[in-house]
Amino acid sequence: MEISTSTVLIVSDIHIREKNEEKVLHLLAALEKVNPSVTEALVFLGDIFDFCFGDSAHFQQKFHAIGAALARLTRGGVRVVFLEGNHEFFLSYLSWEGVTWVSAREYILTTRAGARIALTHGDLLLAPWHYRLYMGTVRSWLSRHVASWLPQAKFDRFCLDLAAHSRKQGMYKKVPHRRLLEKATQWIESTGCNVGIMGHYHIPYDYQHGNTRLFCLPAWDTPNFLGFDGTQWGRIFL
């Protein structure tokens, strides 16, 4: 599987912290290889940024190069879909040309050939009620206005530190695999799709259960995409 021959490309959990870090260069190089006459859809599955608050000139400028690279693709007819992860807020305010922003918990992608693919970031599959309440509050209209009053560079630094801290606490390390795979399978079945794809847990699952197949994307310790060529799925390592 290669970038240039994939009809669907999916990428997740890059966790970009700085605008010119190596992972950004890898991403921009990968976007260069996408051929709009071959690739129908490119999906960002969330937590592409380690922190981003879209309704702010600071973040709009910081990540401008990625939006500009995507404009070449959307102008060429590629459907670019961006699902928000739990590190990302109000991304539609980035106003990247032609991008479909999804803040709902799931999105069903239908290819021209009729394949239906269920997509979710994944953090809500195992979420307790207080996590849902917290995320709902953070995303509320009020916090958008409060956040836009803060000095943005300091706000950015604070939230990046918070993200690094929660990683150190091992929030991705204690995953109850069996329960997660069960929940994910139920989720795929509830969508009526045969294939479901998620990120968030940073674990490269490829799990078949009955008629459903679940993929999970690893984080970008090794830069990677998941590709579909119309027949088969495969991992692409850059």
What DSSP state is assigned to residue 200? S
Binder among 40, 47, 88, 156 for Mn ion (CB under 5 A) = 47
On whether the CB atoms of residues 202 and 121 are closer than 8 A, the answer is no
Q: What is the end-to-end Cα distance of the chain in Å, rounded?
A: 11
Give how many residues touch Mn ion by CB under 5 A: 5
Report if residue 50 touches Mn ion, rule: CB under 5 A. no
Of all residues in this chain, which one has the CB nearest to Mn ion in the complex? 200
Q: Length of the chain in residues, anyone? A: 238
Report if residue 12 touches Mn ion, rule: CB under 5 A. no
Q: Is 146 helix (H, G, I), strand (E, B) or coil?
A: helix
Q: Rounded to the nearest whole angstrom, what is the least distance from the CB of residue 45 to Mn ion in the complex?
A: 9
d(CA 66, CA 115): 28
Surface-to-core class of residue 3, CB atoms within 10 Å of its CB (0-12 exposed, 13-18 middle, 19+ buried): buried
> Tokens 């836009």 label which residue?
148
Query: What residues numbered 131-170 form the site for Mn ion, per CB under 5 A?
Result: none
> Tokens 């890059």 label which residue?
14
Binder among 12, 56, 86, 185 for Mn ion (CB under 5 A) = 86
- Rank residues 40 and 106 by Cβ distance to Mn ion and give the closer one: 106
Q: Rounded to the nearest whole angstrom, what is the least distance from the CB of residue 100 to Mn ion in the complex?
A: 20
On whether the CB atoms of residues 223 and 27 are closer than 8 A, the answer is yes
- Rank residues 47 and 156 by Cβ distance to Mn ion and give the closer one: 47
Binder among 85, 218, 223, 227 for Mn ion (CB under 5 A) = 85
- Rank residues 85 and 223 by Cβ distance to Mn ion and give the closer one: 85
Q: Rounded to the nearest whole angstrom, what is the least distance from the CB of residue 84 to Mn ion in the complex?
A: 10
Mark the segment that binds Mn ion (CB under 5 A) among 2-10, 97-105, 120-128, 173-181: 120-128
d(CA 167, CA 238): 24
Report if residue 200 touches Mn ion, rule: CB under 5 A. yes
Q: Rounded to the nearest whole angstrom, what is the least distance from the CB of residue 213 to Mn ion in the complex?
A: 21
Compute CA 202 distance to the chain's CA centroid, rounded to the nearest angstrom: 11
Q: Rounded to the nearest whole angstrom, what is the least distance from the CB of residue 7 to Mn ion in the complex?
A: 26
Q: Rounded to the nearest whole angstrom, what is the least distance from the CB of residue 88 to Mn ion in the complex?
A: 9
- Rg of the chain, C-alpha, whole Å: 17
Provide the binding-site residues for Mn ion, judged by CB under 5 A. Answer: 47, 85-86, 123, 200
